[in-house]
Amino acid sequence: MNEFITEHDIYLFHQGTHYFSYQFLGSHSATVDFKKGYFFTVWAPNASEVRVVGDFNKWDGSHFKLDKISNQGLWHRFFPSIPAGSSYKYEIHSGSDIPFLKADPYAFQSEIRPATASVLTTDSTFQWDDTQWRRSQKETNPLKMPINIYEVHIGSWRTHADGTLYSYKELAKELIPYVKSLGYTHIELLPLGEHPFDLSWGYQQTGYYSVTSRYGHPNDLKYFINECHLNELGVILDWVPGHFCKDDHGLRLFDGTPIYEYADPRKAEKRNWGTLTFDFGRPEVQSFLISNALYWLKEFHFDGLRVDAVASMLYLNFDNYDGEEKLYNSYGGEENLEAAAFLRKLNEVVFDYKPHTLMMAEDSTDIPLITSPTYAGGLGFNFKWNMGWMNDTLDFMERDPVYRKWHHQCLTFPIMYTYSENFLLPLSHDEVVHGKKSLLNKMPGDQWQQFANLRLLYGYMMTHPGKKLLFMGGELGLYSEWKDKEQLDWHLIDYPLHKAMFDFVKDLNHFYKHEPSLFECDHKVHGFEWIDPHNIDQSIIVFLRRGDLAGEELIIVCNFTPNVYYDYKVGVPYPGTYKEVFNSDADKYGGSNQLNVGRYFSFPEKWHGHNQHIKIKIPPLAISVFSTPTKGVST
């Protein structure tokens, strides 16, 4: 072998335990015998011959044949005098008489679509300047910190006047100060691996290590993330290990046979998506995917990964048609045991190398222990998207207030399982596309009621246990659902109700970030207490949120009808004075200004199971938040 790739590298890769396989697979610049050039290494176990072709050899690989260096299909060789920036592919000779071309699965850069070749890069010279941020993250516990994520699709957040896309560097100048001013703690970017089709939004990839060239050079993405960290914003990448697209230059039938996907088409096909499932039991695929997770975390300093479509990985019959013959595992169940084992391995490795990573499962299953450690039988994530809360809450909010009392359980039931996982509450891109309507247009009533309902929805989300996520544009109160071919409707900010919504989201985010009771005990039963979940007829709920320290308490009152109530009794835990500290019905937010002004003394009369109560005004379609006296002390 040689110094670049060792027998140990080869052994670990084929064992599924080489977690930095991108450091030797793919193309890497080097100097051998005083000659500059590139090493090429590719896994193609069933190929009879592999050549490198590109613009440097006029796409003729006759003199650029790779050597087979392992019985399990690794091909490798150094070629001198190939210039950086050259386009290349692998010419695979397999069972057929006609060779075919494949992009490099480990390429770090690709041509701009619709071109499909890989691009030779040099070692990154980017200088990171985020040491202070990274050190601060090691000193925090994400479960006890405020996490409020702004989800972004780079291609449609904002575009130039001529419709061209913003670059990573341009986004650093505009997106970062925008998100910071709104009070978010993190930005989540939809997938950035190279993908051929814009409207897949990056969820159907061909280049898992190749930062999409749509928005610039890989170093430009590093610049963007570095600037986020300097502005105290974490960055999360939407990561897609569940499936990949079928384009000819990609991973499908890479060496003429299924090596990245399952050989059994019943397990491989994601028919509803037109994609293929990775073979999670194959060691080389495990090395490929786990290395890819660490690649984004280590080389690009991402703070976390949102793991897409976990349910599609965990169930063998995820998208089977009714009546179709089902697949079963060796125990007779429908779970994909290989995928579950892969996810446990993934999380163990990630937390071993990067202990403070946010590993978030986008999972719609009711499989338990998704966020429990692997040693306790869990999958090992530290957060899970609460799809049940999202579905129940939107189902409730879309109903006319007259009928909401018949569906009151949509508000109360999610608390029954809130502490079964470490949940994040998502209002993501999936809820505002494909005919689902925008969040504003989901809301019933006239225009005033729609905006009031949306403010109430956001306020309820921000005060409910769990971390938070909102898709871009939600702060503007968009009428149209996400138009993935166009930028957001920025002109709406010039209209009073939309500007008021923008101001509301901004104030709500900052309020959340500075109130420990709203995030410190998100995942502890101590952090939430029902005061009144039973007022079905008036569709009013009252609950209490607690932080770690005495006095870190807030009382939240939500009214899901357009009625105003006066002298409404609310049971409270302590004697003393209470003060309204946030009200979504304020006129500056477009509300009717039914505020609770001044301080409210508690009455020594039992109500809602407490020895004290206060009398307050209940604003219409609104959330009111009250501070409590210092615990046990009258003020």
**Residue-wise DSSP of 341-410:** HHHHHHHHHHHHH-TT-EEEE------S-TTS-GGGTS---SEEE-HHHHHHHHHHHTS-HHHHGGGTHH
The CATH code of the domain at 7-119 is: 2.60.40.10
CA dist 284 and 72 (Å) reads: 10
Residues 6+ apart with CB under 8 A from 584: 452, 455, 456, 458, 459, 504, 508, 591, 619, 622, 623, 624
Predicted pLDDT at 632: 43
The phi-psi region of residue 491 (left if phi > 0; otherwise alpha if psi is between -120 and 50; otherwise beta) is: alpha
Per residue in 570-595, pLDDT (tens digit) is: 999 999 999 999 999 999 999 999 99
What average pLDDT does the segment 121-136 reach? 93
Which residues are known catalytic residues? Answer: 308, 362
Residue 586: which H helix or E strand, with range?
none
575 in Cβ contact with 602 (< 8 Å): yes
Among 34-43, 127-136, 509-518, 622-631, the minimum mean pLDDT is found in 622-631
Predicted pLDDT at 635: 33
Residue 398 to residues 205, 436, 497, 635: CA-CA distances in angstroms? 34, 11, 20, 41
- pLDDT above 50 (res 634): no
- CATH superfamily name and code, 401-422+437-485+495-635: Golgi alpha-mannosidase II (2.60.40.1180)
What is the number of residues in the chain? 635
SS3 state at 411? helix
Name residue, tokens 């869990």.
Answer: 378
CA dist 570 and 606 (Å) reads: 10
Predicted pLDDT at 321: 78
Predicted pLDDT at 1: 53
- pLDDT above 90 (res 628): yes
504 CB neighbour count, 10 Å cutoff:
23
What tokens does 486 get? 């166009």
pTM over 0.85: yes
Predicted pLDDT at 633: 43
91 in Cβ contact with 54 (< 8 Å): no
Predicted pLDDT at 324: 82
Average pLDDT, the chain: 95
Burial category of 416 from C-beta neighbours within 10 Å (exposed 0-12, middle 13-18, buried 19 and up): exposed
Nearest to 120 by CA among 195, 184, 38, 36: 38
* Band of pLDDT at residue 124, cut at 50, 70 and 90: confident
CA dist 14 and 376 (Å) reads: 28
Per residue in 435-445, pLDDT (tens digit) is: 999 999 999 99
254 CB neighbour count, 10 Å cutoff:
24
Per residue in 329-345, pLDDT (tens digit) is: 999 999 999 999 999 99
CA dist 526 and 126 (Å) reads: 45
User: Where are the chain's structural domains?
Assistant: 7-119, 146-176+185-385, 401-422+437-485+495-635
Q: What angle do CA 146, 149, 152 make, to 5 degrees?
A: 165
Bridge pairing between strands 383-385 and 358-361:
parallel
554 in Cβ contact with 626 (< 8 Å): yes
88 in Cβ contact with 56 (< 8 Å): yes
612 CB neighbour count, 10 Å cutoff:
21
Predicted pLDDT at 549: 86
Q: Would you give the DSSP letter of residue 494?
A: G
Per residue in 364-389, pLDDT (tens digit) is: 999 999 999 999 999 999 999 999 99
535 in Cβ contact with 163 (< 8 Å): no
508 in Cβ contact with 591 (< 8 Å): no
Per residue in 276-334, pLDDT (tens digit) is: 999 999 999 999 999 999 999 999 999 999 999 999 999 999 988 777 889 999 999 99
Exposure string over 132-171, b if 16+ CB within 10 A, otherwise e: ebeeebeeeebbbbbbbbbbbbbbbbbeeeeeebbbbbbb
What average pLDDT does the segment 452-475 reach? 98
Predicted pLDDT at 2: 63
Which amino acid, residue 384? K
236 in Cβ contact with 142 (< 8 Å): no
Which amino acid, residue 476? L
Provide the percentage of residues in the chain whose pLDDT is more than 90.
95
What tokens does 385 get? 């998207």
Provide the percentage of residues in the chain whose pLDDT is more than 70.
99
CA dist 193 and 296 (Å) reads: 10
569 in Cβ contact with 532 (< 8 Å): no
> Between the CA atoms of 101, 103, 106 and 107, what dihedral angle is there, to the nearest 10 degrees?
130
- pLDDT above 90 (res 3): no
CA dist 310 and 87 (Å) reads: 34
Per residue in 42-95, pLDDT (tens digit) is: 999 999 999 999 999 999 999 999 999 999 999 999 999 999 999 999 999 997
372 CB neighbour count, 10 Å cutoff:
17
Predicted pLDDT at 377: 96
What average pLDDT does the segment 179-195 reach? 98
Residues 6+ apart with CB under 8 A from 44: 50, 73, 75, 90, 92, 254, 255, 259
Topology match between the domains 7-119 and 401-422+437-485+495-635: yes
What average pLDDT does the segment 99-124 reach? 96
Q: Would you give the DSSP letter of residue 589?
A: G
Architecture of domain 146-176+185-385: Alpha-Beta Barrel (3.20)
